[in-house]
Structure 1
Amino acid sequence: MSLKEHLYELRHRLGLALMFVAVGGVFGFIWFQTKLGPIPSLGELLTGPYCQPDLAKYRANISNDGTCKLLQTEPFEIFMIQLKAGTAAGAVLLCPAWLYQLWAFITPGLYSKERKFARTFVLFAAILFVAGAVLAYLVVPEGLKVLMSFGGDQFTTALTGSKYISFVLTLLLIFGVSFELPLLVVMLNRAGIISYEKLHKWRRGLLMGLFVFAAIATPGTDPISMVALALALTVLFEMAIQIARIHDKRKAKERLAEGWDGLADDEATPFDYTPSDADGKVEGEQVEPMEPVEPVGPAKSSGDRRVNYDDAT
């Protein structure tokens, strides 16, 4: 396709992707206050960590019936919270639909092996993102317990809805995206950019960098979420290093079997470059020379457009 056709195709795919995100946002907006059978509403899922019984002694009782509720301090604050949380949840639920549109735009330019490689990458990326989000959801109550207990008996906590929902969504996003880092290491190793030898040499510095990254990336100041993210990334990063070790070891065996190992950078690989013709004759054998080809003369008649191929050859 021409550049103009590619731009039209990109506009079409992006339009469909945004349409699926909008549909997911409408679904998430309705789900925020509606239960789906045994599945609780999105609002109950998001406020669940804050409304756990263990945190009751730290929360301010701002409702008439004694139930756990967040505080609204601005007009339409709840509407914006519901819209933001619903859009985020809908985009996650319908991610296969809008990711397919992006995939359909990219895949015509890939070889079959690259398509299989990319599908594997997308599959594990989705699994790791969900695993990171689940871990963040489990860590939120413990982090809140640490943050809300600093004041002791002199303070009570009444969180506003916008700040609490932003805190939870940010934590889920950071954990999910951070879990993609070990997968990126594996992909770079597969592409030959980073070797196991370098990863093994840089292990201590990289692990220290993961703890620094966890301390900076987590939105809260509690040590629970920071340590949980750092330890999870350490385990995943160590798994990535071992995967790189197995991959490099297998590649080394293949090079050794094919005679590549031990060659200098300017030394030719031991391939058989001996030319051969269709009859199986190799260089050095007696080959009969070809007869010269006579040029084809002009046509005798301009009205006769037929070509005699026997005479031409």
Structure 2
Amino acid sequence: MDHLRELRNRAVKAGIFLVLGSILGWFLWRGWGEAFWRVPSFSGGIFGLLQDPILTEAARRNTLVSINFGQVGSAFDFAIKGAIWVGVLISSPFWLWQFWAFITPGLTRKEKRYAVGFIAAAVPLFLAGAAIAYSVLPNAMAFLIGFTPEDGSNVIDAQIYLSFCMRIILAFGLGFLLPVVLVGLNFAHLVSGRTIVKQWRISVFLSFLFSALVTPTSDITTMLLLALPLLVLFGIAMVICVLNDRRRSKNSPEPDYGHLSDDEASTI
């Protein structure tokens, strides 16, 4: 029950930060408040940034493309959805901190000091994944628009297109967090470095599988843009976990049984 109450408290705190981020996201979505932050190029807001890849590619190909809201209230509904999505990105340092704080009771006092390092690594990686996803969108749009006939036009439903872009960006960001979560689980004594090293083939397979599922096109270049950084991050995570296990075994006289399988008997 204590764990459930702690989980509830952390979830509530993360939700509060998400709400505050969504309020700011409401103004960022359509570029409202431009006079406040004085960035003229941001007059279109996040909505304009998400439109830019497909509209730029359409202009280059001289193809008519239009983002269409099919119903009267669709623009308002999606503005709310977009604000929440922006809120998830903006509040990432805070809900990542709540995630880390939930597992810190399993750590020693010295290991809890690494919380700052966890946030310092997780937030840039999450944002870097989102930035790489946005850089991939022009290639995806070039691939998809390329099937439009010369005399044809694309009247794209805004809900479908914007949801497509938002899912890709969020998936890339979360994908870059997986190695950091792996290190966090190791510091919480839930998985050993030796176990992670033994399962390196599964890590490679899952990295390519995840990249193939979330990338919007079928070309291998786009998939590699996500898979290769993930493999590098997983490699770094493995090294950190192994070094942490060695440090822990030197400092603690108790044997480590984390590498044993569930069916293997210990020496107790």
What TM-score do the two structures reach when normalised by structure 2?
Answer: 0.73
| 1:165 matched to 2:162 | yes
| 1:117 matched to 2:114 | yes
Distance 1:244 1:94 in 2: 28
What residue number does 2:236 align with? 239
| 1:43 matched to 2:50 | no
For 1:15-30, list aligned pairs within 5 A: 17-30=14-27
Secondary structure at the aligned position of 1:49 is classed as helix
Q: Name the amino acid aligned to 2:179.
A: P
Distance 1:96 1:249, change over 3 A: closer
Q: Is the 8 A contact 2:10 2:99 kept in 1?
A: no
**Displacement of 1:229 after TM fit?**
1.7
Secondary structure at the aligned position of 2:142 is classed as helix
Distance 1:241 1:55, change over 3 A: farther
**Displacement of 1:167 after TM fit?**
0.9
Distance 1:101 1:199, change over 3 A: closer
Secondary structure at the aligned position of 2:69 is classed as coil
| 1:141 matched to 2:138 | yes
Distance 1:97 1:201, change over 3 A: closer
**Displacement of 1:136 after TM fit?**
0.6
**Aligned residues: CA RMSD:** 3.9
| Unpaired runs of at least 5, structure 2 | 256-265
Secondary structure at the aligned position of 1:158 is classed as strand
Secondary structure at the aligned position of 1:159 is classed as strand
What residue number does 2:180 align with? 183
Distance 1:122 1:60, change over 3 A: same
**Displacement of 1:244 after TM fit?**
3.4
More helix by share: 2
**Displacement of 1:193 after TM fit?**
4.9
What TM-score do the two structures reach when normalised by structure 1?
Answer: 0.64
Distance 1:154 1:249, change over 3 A: farther
Across the two proteins, how many residue pairs are aligned to each other? Answer: 249
Distance 2:11 2:179 in 1: 30
Q: Name the amino acid aligned to 1:177.
A: L
Distance 2:64 2:104 in 1: 55
> Higher relative contact order at CA 8 Å, sep ≥6: structure 1 or structure 2?
2
| Unpaired runs of at least 5, structure 1 | 63-68, 268-313
Moved more, 177-186 or 135-144: 177-186
Distance 1:19 1:82, change over 3 A: same
Q: Name the amino acid aligned to 2:201.
A: R
What residue number does 2:210 align with? 213
Q: Name the amino acid aligned to 2:120.
A: L
Identity in percent: 29
Distance 1:100 1:204 in 2: 30
1:204 pairs, out of 189, 201, 205, with: 201
The structure that has the greater radius of gyration is 1
**Displacement of 1:121 after TM fit?**
2.4
What CA deviation, in whole Å up to 9, does each residue of 1:43-83 have, x standing for no partner? 2222222222x442457436xxxxxx521222211111211
Q: Is the 8 A contact 2:58 2:64 kept in 1?
A: no
